[in-house]
Structure formats: structure tokens, C-alpha cells
Structure 1
Amino acid sequence: MSEEFNCPLPIDNTIERIRLGHGGGGRLTNNLIENVFKPLFSNEYLDKLHDGAIIDLPKNKIAFTTDSYTINPIFFPGGDIGKLAVTGTINDLAMCGARPKFLSLGLIIEEGFEIEKLKDILNSIKVTADKVGAMIVTGDTKVVNKGKGDGIYINTAGIGIIEHGLEILPQNVRPGDVIVLNGDVGRHGSAIMSVREGLEFESTLESDCEELWTTVEGILNSGVEVHCMRDLTRGGLVSALNEIAKASGLGVYIEEEKIPVIEEVEAICEVLGLDPLYVANEGRFIAIVPERYGEKVVSIMSSTLGTDARVIGKITEENPGKVIMKSLIGSNRLLDMISGEQLPRIC
């Protein structure tokens, strides 16, 4: 008597959810690569399916960065974890003054995750990378047991090309430099908290998740002498300014009335007991430049992003390593770094 054998792990492309076998390196893994990843990301480097991408680089300097993303919820107003992961790495390269060129993509996916959701996330990755001319050239996927993950986590690493002679570093800021902010702060963290389970607010607020290379490229091409740039992600504006103050050994002086915060962000932060100046952003950055370039940078920022860019302060010799803010009532306030995690899993 013969028994019909049925494979418990079908290998065609009709599977609707991620299975443990998708991370096993066998037929299911190959199926995922051929039917989900390659149709989106196909290029001369990735198509070789080697253990790594072999790249010919120009003789310029390069910038290299990496970041991991565990955001909850995965899909949020203004984006998703895929857009966020690529945007974050592109923006880190941009803050170095580097043109984003090559990206890696590492996925840790929970068993049972829907393939259609994965495709939506990968499409966001593709659209965001294409916008700046970057390519996904290598990647990896692992699958964890159901209940041992939280849908999907992503790691991206990026290589960017530095095509200018500027040294864009916190250590290069000088007394008298002005600090230019490219728009209102606190949107991303506030938008995430507005839709997080158990904290839902009635709000139309969207994350500011957006690539910054287009704006940075405009600044660099205009001949501005950029001393430092920093994106305002975890810890927000204040944490970024503190990092620069400590690295440079100089003081930072800003004025509260010059820092734009929209009403919806103020309202959400008030309910949650948060200060918008410490709340994460994903499309905001500061450029520190000699005073003579301040308004030029404001103009470029406003024209490329359509945001409320402003000069918000300056670098000083006074109060080295500290950030001082002139408050709305005219008194000076010391702004220290936060001591812990204010908003967990917002990126």
C-alpha cells in the first residue's frame, strides 16, 4: 500500500505568510528572493547573489553608516518601517555630506507575517532609495518563531560618496556660527504616539519622515561653507545640540521663540507630559554655518522641503559643552540630555 507524500512547506509563490523555512537558506528562501526581493531591487550588484556586493568606488572619501529599526506600529501616519529604515540611513549619510549610493538590507521577520505587508514595506524601500539614486546591493533575511518577534525588524547600512573638500564634523563648528533648523520639530514621535495602541488620539498628524539628501545637496552645491550637520532623531533637537556642544567644547545658545512647533504636536506632548524639543524627528536637521551663510541656507531648506526653516541660535565661547535656551519669558534655561528612553520604539 503506497502513501502519498505531502510536503508541509509548499515552495510555490502562492504562500501568503512568512514561514520559518523562509529563513532556512533552502527552497523557500530562494522563492522569497526570486519572487519578492529581486523583482523590486534587481541591479548589477544584487543579481549576482553573492555573499556580498563587490563595488568599484571612485577615489573620493566615503561615509559608511548603519542603523536598526524596531518601530511600533510598523505602518504609521506618513510612512512605514521600510520608508523609515532607508530614510534614516540616507539621512545619516547626508549629515556627513555624502551622496547615498549603496545600501544593505537586513530583515528579521516573525513567522506568520503577511507576504502582502512585506511587499508593501519593500515597495516603500524601493521608492525611497530610488528618489536619491541609491541601490540595495546586498541583504539578508532571518525568520523567528511566531511570538518571538514583533512582525518585522530592519537593519540598513549605507555607503555614500563625499564629492567635496569640506570636513563636516561637530569638532569643526566655530564661535559665531549660526544654527539653521529646517522646520518644525516633534512631528515623528508625536505622530507615532498618536496611533499607538492604548494611546490613540483623534489626530491627522503625520510623521515628517523624509529624505534630506536633496536639501543637503542643494546646500553643498550652493557653495555654503558647512561646518556641521545633524539630524534630529532620537532625543530630538536638544540631544543633537548637546552632542555638538560636548564634541566641540563650545557653547550652544538658542531662542525658544524661534523654534517652530505646530499646535497638534504641542497638544499631544502636553497630554503625554513631553517636551517637543526632546521628541524625535525623521525629516528635520540642523546645519551649522558661518553667519554670512545663514539666510542662504534658510532659503534653500524652505525651497526644497517647503518647511518653516529658521536660524534658531548660534555657537558661543561661553558655557562650553552646554546648551542654553532663552525662554519665552526671557530667562535662560539649561537644556540637558534626557537620562533615559522617553518614547520607546519610535524608530
Structure 2
Amino acid sequence: MSLQQKVDISREIQRITLAHGSGGVAMRDLVENEIVTAFSNPHLDALEDQARIDLRELTAFGDQLAMTTDSFVVDPLEFPGGDIGTLAVNGTVNDLAMCGAKPRHLTCGLIIEEGLSLDTLRRILSSMKKAADIAGVTIVSGDTKVVHKGAADKLFINTSGIGVIPEQTDISASGAQVGDVVIVNGWVGDHGATIMASREDLSLDTQLQSDCRPLYSEVNALLKSSAVHCLRDATRGGIATVLNEFADSSDVRIVLDQSAIPVRDEVRGVCELLGLDPLYLANEGKFVAVVPASDAENALRALKQCPGAENACVIGRVEAVTELRSYAGVSMKTTFGSERMIDMLTGDQLPRIC
């Protein structure tokens, strides 16, 4: 065998091939040596087709089970502040946290395109493990599929999660009441602006980073300090979409104050360059909460003590539907003193964002 042939074989070994999804030796080696090793825990190490979880472990935290699933197809796979792996973990645990649930366990399904670098896969698995440890969850079961080159874009991840909702916790999109205030837990639009800047290779003086992080600790602090009527993480569609969902489900008007909405100058710059609106940009570490006005001060004080939520603030209020404003919806008082409607996003500002 020539030296060049040896080099070609070495390179092939360092990439995912169809054999890694065949159910044979190569797949076993990939699962056991890379995936199980990365996520190692007693549930996963058993290598059964399912994870077996003691119900007593769950009921110790509450009386309702929360379950969610999500798929992640971000482009690029790796970006400042995170990668598709951190998105998969944090996106799923945050969906659980938005009903007050304490996240406990995740599953992980990998759809891998033939030819993906094994080093890239290892980095993403490592970041998933790190994100899971920070969020306090374990990845207990999963699945791996390999598809032909061109049938996917490098790597897609599906994660499902379960968590436990404490007793007497009832949060829903239909809970907004007239007189409530709207709170956001920090800077808006960081993730969407970061992904687009990475795609377009924009040169910025200050490096933007995704806000991808777990939010349960902030939600827990909020619940201990205030009644919470509505709560949702502002991912695809941004805070504008979340608030329209609240307004429609609760049959109320939500009025925002543009000057109060926290947006970084760098995010504004990206939006101006590309014709985007920060209200519709995706976030991966931000939620929108609707709380009674009487609890707002306590809620903000509790949030600002949480790392990452130091810029939490009130950005709007909930008003009644009246004869003058005869339908539920969202509007914004602009810095020029006028008022404009904030509709649901039509189309997709940024495809493949998460």
C-alpha cells in the first residue's frame, strides 16, 4: 500500500461514513466510543433501547410531568457563543422551564450526513455534555442515523426532555390580565444577529455572541418572587411573536415602550445592515414574562441577582380591548411619540436559525 493510500484511509477514518449508520461494527464503535463515552451516566451506559427512570425521583420535585421535543438545524453548526449541541440542550431545557418545570432528563437523536468530520462531531458532543451538566440534566437515551451526502446539511439534532412541575404552578399563554406588566430578562436579539453575522462574515468591532444558556435558575427565582401569568422563551420569531401569542390567547392588548427594550448597539448595527427588526430576531437565553404590576419590583430584583439577567427590565403593559382598539394584538410606542402595530412575523427573517 502506497503512502498516499494510507493517508486517504486515515482521512476516511476521521469522517462519518454510511457504515457508521449500518448497525454493524462501525456503528457500535461510534455509539459506544464517542456518544456513550461523551454522555456517560448509569441510564445511558446500560445500552438498552429505553431509559428506565424511577418515578420517585421525579415526584420528589412536583406533581406534574412536563415533556417537550425539538429539532435543531442551525447553520453554521458552530458560532460565537455556542454550537448546535448547546442549542439542542438549552433549547429543550428552556422549553421545560417555561412552565416552571425543573428539567431532569433528555434524549438525543443525531441525523448525521455522510462525510461529517469526526472531530466536529466530538466537539459538539462535548459541548452538549457541558451544557447538560450546567443545566443539571442527564442525556439518558438516544438514536443515531447516517444519511447519504447531500441528504442533510452536516448534522441535525432532535432532543426530547422531561421535567417536573412544582405543585400549584399554573403558567399559560392565556393568563395575561389587564394591568399586568411585560418583563424581558435581558438584551434582545443576540442569537439571531450572531448567526447572521457569522453567515455573512460581517466585520464588527465588538464580537457578538449568542445568548444560548439554560434559564431554569432565573425562572425559579422569578417564581419565588412574583406571581407569573405568562412565560415563554423568545426563540424563532423573537419577542414580537411571543407577545402576539400572549395577546391572542389572553384576548388583551399589549403595548410596548420602544425606549425600554434593551438592544445592543451591535445588534442594531446588524439589523440596519441587513434590513432586520430586532423584535423578530431569535434569542436562546431570553424569556418574556407577564406579571402583576404590583410584583414587578420584586421580580426585577430577583432576576437581576441571576448571572446573565442583570439587564432585566419592564418593556410594556397589558391593556384591555376597547371599542377604539377592538381586537387583541401588540403595539409599540416609538421613540418619536407615535404608535405602530407589531404583527406576527410573516415569512422567515432568518432560516436555519436554531
Q: Counterparts in 2 of 1:56-75, with a 5 A limit?
A: 56-57=54-55, 58-59=58-59, 60-75=63-78
1:97 aligns with 2:100: yes
Q: Which amino acid letter does the alignment assign opposite residue 325 of structure 1?
A: M
Q: Which amino acid aligns with 2:348?
A: E
Q: CA deviation at 1:200?
A: 1.5
1:193-208 mapped onto 2 (5 Å cutoff): 193-196=196-199, 199-203=200-204, 204-208=207-211
For 1:18 and 1:290, how far apart are their aligned partners in 2? 53
Of 129, 136, 140, the residue aligned with 1:137 is 140
Q: What amino acid is the match of 1:130?
A: D
1:278 aligns with 2:298: no
Deviation (angstroms), 1:56: 2.4
How far residue 174 of structure 1 moved from its aligned partner, in angstroms, is 1.3
Cα offsets for 1:125-148 (capped at 9, x unmatched): 111111121010110010011222
Cross-structure match for 2:178: 175
What is the identity, as a one-letter code, of the residue corresponding to 2:245? Answer: E
Instruction: Note the alpha carbon deviations across 1:181-235, whole angstroms, 9 max, x for none.
Output: 1111111111111110xx2111211111111112112222x24211111111111
Structure 2 distance, partners of 1:66, 1:184, is 26
Matches within 5 A, 1:163-312: 163-196=166-199, 199-203=200-204, 204-220=207-223, 222-304=224-306, 305-312=308-315
**Structure-2 separation of matches of 1:23 and 1:247:** 44
Structural mapping, 1:22-171, within 5 Å: 22-57=20-55, 58-59=58-59, 60-171=63-174
- CA deviations 1:17-68 (Å, max 9, x no partner) are 1111111112111101111112221222112222221222334201111111
Amino acid at match of 1:240: V
CA contact (8 A) 1:166 1:225 kept: no
- 1:257-277 deviation digits (Å, cap 9, x = unpaired): 100111111111001111111
Read off the aligned partner of 2:198 and give its amino acid letter: V
- Conserved? CA contact 2:225–2:302, under 8 Å: no
SS at match of 2:42: coil
> Any idea what SS the aligned residue of 2:254 has?
strand
* C-alpha deviation, 1:237, in angstroms: 0.8
Distance 2:116 2:302 in 1: 42
Give the TM-score normalised by structure 1.
Answer: 0.92
1:3 aligned residue: none
**Structure 2 residue identity aligned to 1:45:** H
User: Which amino acid is 1:34 matched to?
Assistant: E
SS at match of 2:13: coil
Rounded to whole Å, the distance in 2 between the matches of 1:321 and 1:24 is 53
SS of the residue 2:105 aligns to:
strand
Residue identity in the other structure for 2:304: S
Alignment of 1:316-327 (within 5 A): 316-318=319-321, 319=325, 320-327=327-334
- Give the deviation of 1:119 after TM superposition: 0.9
* Correspondence for 1:7: none
Is there any run of 5+ residues in structure 2 with no aligned partner, and where? 1-8
TM-score for the superposition, normalised by structure 2: 0.91
- Contact 1:178/1:315 (CA < 8 Å) preserved in 2? yes
CA contact (8 A) 1:295 1:311 kept: no
Q: CA RMSD in A?
A: 1.6
Overall identity of the aligned pairs, in %: 48
Offset at 1:112?
A: 1.2
CA distance in structure 1 between the aligned counterparts of 2:89 and 2:285, rounded to whole angstroms: 12
- The answer to whether the Cα contact below 8 Å between 1:194 and 1:200 also exists between their aligned partners in 2 is yes
**Rounded Cα–Cα distance in structure 2 between residues aligned with 1:257 and 1:217:** 28
Say yes or no: does 1:344 pair with 2:351. Answer: yes
Structure 1 distance, partners of 2:179, 2:111, is 46
Work out the CA distance in 2 between the residues paired with 1:145 and 1:80: 23
| Counterpart Cα distance in 1 of 2:336 and 2:242 | 24
Distance, in Å, in 2 between the alignment partners of 1:341 and 1:165 is 37
Task: Name stretches of at least 5 consecutive residues in structure 1 with no aligned partner.
Answer: 1-9
SS in 2 for 1:172: coil
Paired AA for residue 250 in structure 1: V
d(CA) in 2 for partners of 1:29, 1:333 = 55
Amino acid at match of 1:230: R
- Whichever residue aligns with residue 85 of structure 2, its letter is G
C-alpha contact (below 8 Å) 1:85/1:154 kept by paired residues: yes
Contact kept in structure 2, 1:188 and 1:281, CA below 8 Å: yes
Question: In structure 2, what residue type is equivalent to 1:173?
Answer: A
Q: Quick one: distance in 2 between partners of 1:297 and 1:115?
A: 45
